[in-house]
Amino acid sequence: MAIQKRPPVVTIMGHVDHGKTTLLDFIRKSRITEGEAGGITQHIGAYQIEHKNQAITFIDTPGHAAFNKMRARGAQITDIVVLVVAANDGVKPQTIESIRHITEAKLPVIVAINKMDLKDAQPDLVKSQLVEHKILVQGFGGDVEAIPLSAKTGKGVDTLLDTILLIAELNELTVDPDAPLEAVVIESSKDSRRGSLASVIVRSGTLHLRQDIVAGEAEGRVKQLSDPLGKAVETVTPGCPTEIIGFKTVPAVGAVVHDQAAEYAAVAEAEAAEAPVTDAAISQELTDLDFNFLLDDKPRLKLIIRADVEGTLEAIIDTLDPESTELLSSAVGQVSEADVDLAVATGALIVSFHTKVSKQVLLLAKRANVRIKTYDVIYELIENLQKQMLKLIDPTLDEVVTGEAEILQIFEMRGERIAGIKVKSGVINKADTFYLARGEDRIGSPTIKSMRHGKEEVDSVKTKGEAGLVFRQAKLTFEVGDRLVAFHIAD
């Protein structure tokens, strides 16, 4: 078959909440934001539309910073990037990160200045901010197209699509459908009924039913191909997205799918040298790092992680600090009884993202006093894990000090040792939780048996007030100059 044109593959990038998914929604006349927990796209999806009788393939990359590797992989397989920047918000951290990926991949970029329907839209300010990050748009020292638009109303979207087709034409995107198959895995997961699933975009050659394929360590035979709308197809040509059913195991995101029977010669050798890191390899690397630290006394948060798709799993793992965590197990799929057994043996926390936990497993975990934390929003999961990691490094992280007093004198009365204190800040309540500090060290956790101001029994003493305290711990050692600190744990 002769060399022919192929559809451009376009990646949407930009800061969270700047309207990337809303733009795609308008383009393909569907709603996805409302179906995503937290209103943020959780996984990479690929979609194909027609504009002026020409096909365009879009990759929707998640906007959250945790998915930087997924965005990078999107850049590696794309032809054109649409950088979405909100006209009322300007350049933000994830905008800058997206620009870095675009620059490293040396890709053509179109800036979509979104939310032009808002009263506080300032497109010129956005353009000047982009100059600071070496994105020079037309009228500001460069030739990058900047399209003002509103993903909400659709105004300017046709101009964006026209510009995409123009750049694709200038870049002469052609391919040989008879070349050896190459397709890139942009998402993968495990389905309890259908088995291993892989969303791919064909880069060259043709993918067809009953083809024997391999992607890294995963291999299989194509049992079913589906287009983005779920319609069964028999062949998929370059530039087009599809879902494959037929892999024996879940392939890694970013893996290249090859035809097992084809000859790739030096190309295969070169790609083997640049093979993507699999989830198993990441897990092993982190585990190895953990073992290197097992001999020290640092506490670690032990984790068992389960997620619905491999791209998300990798993003979660990528946020872990090997010095404060020990990743015992990670995989795509539901939490199992074996996971609970491992948690019982190790004291690990089980983290489940976007996967159901069966009643049987929940009951087993409850009986075994195993913690299972479930999440549907990626940034909530990551923030909570990071908080727990920081808590290991600094146990006082969640402590809120409500009062502090200094021991000014010590005397005995009726066989009891009494601490004479003066409150330096806040309030000291008789029923508070305390720790006793000497310099930077904590030397005890006392409770108050009796609190007197003069001859009167009191329940609290405010700033600058004084009192005599008798502690319940008879063997508690305290000295003049020690500090009594009242605190509670933040919710």
For the stretch 354-364, pLDDT in tens is 998 988 899 88
When pLDDT is cut at 50, 70 and 90, the band that residue 230 belongs to is: confident
Q: What is the pLDDT of residue 445?
A: 86
pLDDT at 286 over 50: no
| Topology classification of domain 399-489 | Elongation Factor Tu (Ef-tu); domain 3 (2.40.30)
Lowest mean pLDDT among 3-7, 167-171, 394-398, 427-431: 394-398
User: What mean pLDDT comes out for the span 343-360?
Assistant: 89
pLDDT tens digits, residue range 287-322? 333 333 333 445 778 999 999 888 888 888 888 877
Q: What is the pLDDT of residue 137?
A: 94
Phi and psi (nearest 5°) for 368?
A: -90, 0
Owner of token pair 């009891």: 416
pLDDT tens digits, residue range 148-170? 999 999 999 999 999 999 999 99
Q: What is the pLDDT of residue 401?
A: 87
More confident residue, 485 or 94: 485
**Token duo for residue 148:** 């003002």
Domain boundaries, the chain: 4-174, 182-273, 279-393, 399-489
Q: What is the pLDDT of residue 108?
A: 94
Q: Strand, helix or coil at 459?
A: coil
How high does pLDDT run on average in the chain? 83
pLDDT at 276 over 50: no
Lowest mean pLDDT among 15-24, 82-91, 452-461: 15-24
**Token duo for residue 234:** 């028999």
pLDDT tens digits, residue range 165-224? 999 999 999 988 889 999 988 888 888 888 999 999 999 999 999 999 999 889 999 999
Best CATH choice for the domain 279-393 from the list 2.30.29.30, 3.40.50.10050, 3.30.70.270, 3.40.50.300: 3.40.50.10050
Q: What is the pLDDT of residue 212?
A: 96
Q: What is the pLDDT of residue 283?
A: 39
Q: Strand, helix or coil at 348?
A: coil
pLDDT tens digits, residue range 365-422? 888 888 999 998 888 888 888 777 766 665 555 678 899 999 999 988 888 899 999 9
Give the span between the Cα atoms of 90 and 113, in whole angstroms. 9
- Which residues have CB under 8 Å from 397's CB, separation 6+? 387, 390, 391
When pLDDT is cut at 50, 70 and 90, the band that residue 94 belongs to is: confident
More confident residue, 424 or 277: 424
pLDDT at 66 over 80: no
Model pTM greater than 0.75? no
Share of the chain above pLDDT 90, in %: 45
Q: What is the pLDDT of residue 267?
A: 43
When pLDDT is cut at 50, 70 and 90, the band that residue 346 belongs to is: confident
CATH number for the domain whose boundaries are 182-273:
2.40.30.10
**Token duo for residue 19:** 């309207």
CB atoms near residue 477 (< 10 Å): 11
When pLDDT is cut at 50, 70 and 90, the band that residue 65 belongs to is: very low
Q: What is the pLDDT of residue 268?
A: 40
Give the span between the Cα atoms of 208 and 472, in whole angstroms. 78
Lowest mean pLDDT among 51-55, 132-136, 140-144, 289-293: 289-293
Give the span between the Cα atoms of 406 and 331, in whole angstroms. 52
When pLDDT is cut at 50, 70 and 90, the band that residue 491 belongs to is: low
pLDDT at 282 over 50: no
Q: What is the pLDDT of residue 275?
A: 44
When pLDDT is cut at 50, 70 and 90, the band that residue 247 belongs to is: very high
Q: Do domains 4-174 and 279-393 have the same CATH topology?
A: yes
More confident residue, 490 or 280: 490
Lowest mean pLDDT among 73-82, 95-104, 234-243, 461-470: 73-82
Q: Strand, helix or coil at 370?
A: coil
pLDDT at 42 over 60: no
Task: For domain 4-174, give the CATH superfamily.
Answer: P-loop containing nucleotide triphosphate hydrolases (3.40.50.300)
More confident residue, 134 or 282: 134
Q: Which long-range contacts link 118-124 to residues 24+ away (Cβ below 8 Å)?
A: 118/87, 118/88, 120/88, 121/87, 121/88, 122/87, 122/88, 122/90, 123/87, 123/148
Q: What is the pLDDT of residue 274?
A: 42
